[in-house]
Structure 1
């Protein structure tokens, strides 16, 4: 109990610090419209706007009720009822309203010039995470990014392409699948590594990835922390006991990874010239919403809107599910058992950018 109380005190202090930062950062000015040419995204289902629609995997979200609150009520492949974090980031940075999937064959040059997402639902820093669901690994995403650079050069020339690549803002969002679907779900992973060793491997993979991005010309790279994985409805159901409490071991893994990731990004900033590696904390803003839902207008924090709300992701959250979905997703923090709602994403992204946007410039 003494150990648990210490963890709770730590979380409380970090959340308090977060709110103090947010309060005093409301005056931060965002870059002028046009200053950031493009917003380019890598990662998992949190920022996948539909790349998985175009690959052979069961991990898709291109059917109702996904997208029911998206403009036109279109199930685009986004794992939410509406917009996802990459859309809100691009919008707040003054670039565009939606970040499209790179694999969409209908993409025009204007979309390419202002940024795309290479993210693939179920991916992770650990290559095994993506292979479990037959989706794009981060290495695959990097290969597509190299192809993207070639397309830009063919369209606008070498000089303009170099400017776009160096001046754009990049977002890397991964880690939750590694912790939940790979480490805590597969016995062989826990036999091979303990939590400290596995989180160190995650940081090594993430560091290698962002350094490869840097080597291709990227300079402004935001890396998203792991969320409080143990508080996702799926993990509450699987590992939270009869009360479906937050699974403490998974939250501890997230905290351990986040601390190491933040330190590594700071080290890279000292090591690589003109680099702007920015640690983006989503752990504490999301945990605060979960612990204090009514403060932000939410009513349900422990299960998702869709299906059973406890174990419903992708095809388990479909119009064929007799339980359907809740009437008003804006009252829920989670849309399905793994992904937040558009309303929760909007709050989290705004808080993150208020704290961190100046670090990109």
Structure 2
């Protein structure tokens, strides 16, 4: 009798373990496809005649083989962590990587271009790929995918893959505030312009067979090291007006995504809140083990990014990047990116499955 009870108890534990394992499992995703700016660009800008690239040391210092791939950080960027945590692959390559393989086409690529925004003029002013250029690359990708996987499998990959879009920061920081290229707009009207451009981009993706889309909001831009340096006064405080615009854009974008999700049949469109997570990392940096959250690791950490963060300055670069929230004056470190991405994958992306 006791043996039978023990046997039933063991069976019960096994069943509980299976149920728990299945509830925590991430559904299989065939590929991850990404559009956006430098935060998710793994090297598409490398071949451009533009200053907005970083395929040189000390970028990539903590990447596999200490290789400066064109990622705007010391190591992995968000899309690498997303691809890995979704169980797709360890690194998400650039679509324009000359060594891109057929397997990479099957499991996903990034079309992102550092310096891009939803506003085309944002990319054009720094001579990089616009979001609409990236959309054309995606159409080319679909044709290549058909030749590799066949029409039926290619269509399934396009439909079932997860798509991430991350842009908007450069529109605010560069096009609106730094260059005044949209000075004919006030802040609310320019935010609406960006949101409508984002909406149009999503509709175009949907018309190309895309269904599962996650759109990231913009971070607290007023707390970027360079913004602190240029607009934050002697004490380099976070600049409130930049954060207020970030909040406004995120609110309007989130509302538009809800509307689109109802308008586009069978679509799954979600807003990814990066603002709250990164603001928490900034304001509670010591809680996460960061000793420096107001300066980047590279050079003085106050203004250096891309060409200003170069090999000649590597001697000035911090020794332990894990203690720094930011790598350069614009981009977080690999460790900060991992802390940013993990809750997104856990709390938001499962909604798409």
Whether TM exceeds 0.5 here: the answer is yes
Find out whether 1:128 has 2:104 as its counterpart.
no
Alignment of 1:209-358 (within 5 A): 209-321=201-313, 324-358=316-350
Q: Normalized against structure 1, the TM-score is what? A: 0.90
Give the gaps of 5 or more residues in structure 2: 1-21
Q: Secondary structure at the match of 1:63?
A: coil
Find out whether 1:192 has 2:187 as its counterpart.
no
1-structure distance, mates of 2:330, 2:23: 32
How many residue pairs get matched?
332
2-structure distance, mates of 1:28, 1:331: 35
Counterpart of 2:32 in structure 1 is 39
2-structure distance, mates of 1:133, 1:329: 28
Query: 1:321: how far off?
Result: 2.2
Q: Paired residue for 1:117, among 110, 122, 131?
A: 110
Find out whether 1:70 has 2:63 as its counterpart.
yes
Counterpart of 2:86 in structure 1 is 93
Q: Normalized against structure 2, the TM-score is what? A: 0.92
C-alpha spacing 1:28/1:239, structure 2 compared with 1 (3 Å) = farther
Give the gaps of 5 or more residues in structure 1: 1-26
Native 8 Å contact 2:58 2:314 kept in 1? no
Q: Paired residue for 1:151, among 120, 138, 144?
A: 144
Q: Secondary structure at the match of 2:295?
A: strand
1-structure distance, mates of 2:106, 2:177: 39
Alignment RMSD (CA, Å): 1.2
1-structure distance, mates of 2:270, 2:278: 18
Deviations 1:119-150 (A, max 9, x none): 00000011111011100000000000000000
Q: Secondary structure at the match of 2:138?
A: helix
Query: 1:112: how far off?
Result: 0.7
Query: 1:57: how far off?
Result: 1.1
Misfit runs of 4+, over 6 Å: none
Query: 1:30: how far off?
Result: 4.4
Native 8 Å contact 1:300 1:331 kept in 2? yes
The structure with the larger Rg is 2
Q: Paired residue for 1:163, among 156, 169, 180?
A: 156
C-alpha spacing 1:125/1:239, structure 2 compared with 1 (3 Å) = same
Query: 1:29: how far off?
Result: 2.8
Counterpart of 1:180 in structure 2 is 173
Alignment of 1:1-20 (within 5 A): none
C-alpha spacing 1:329/1:186, structure 2 compared with 1 (3 Å) = same
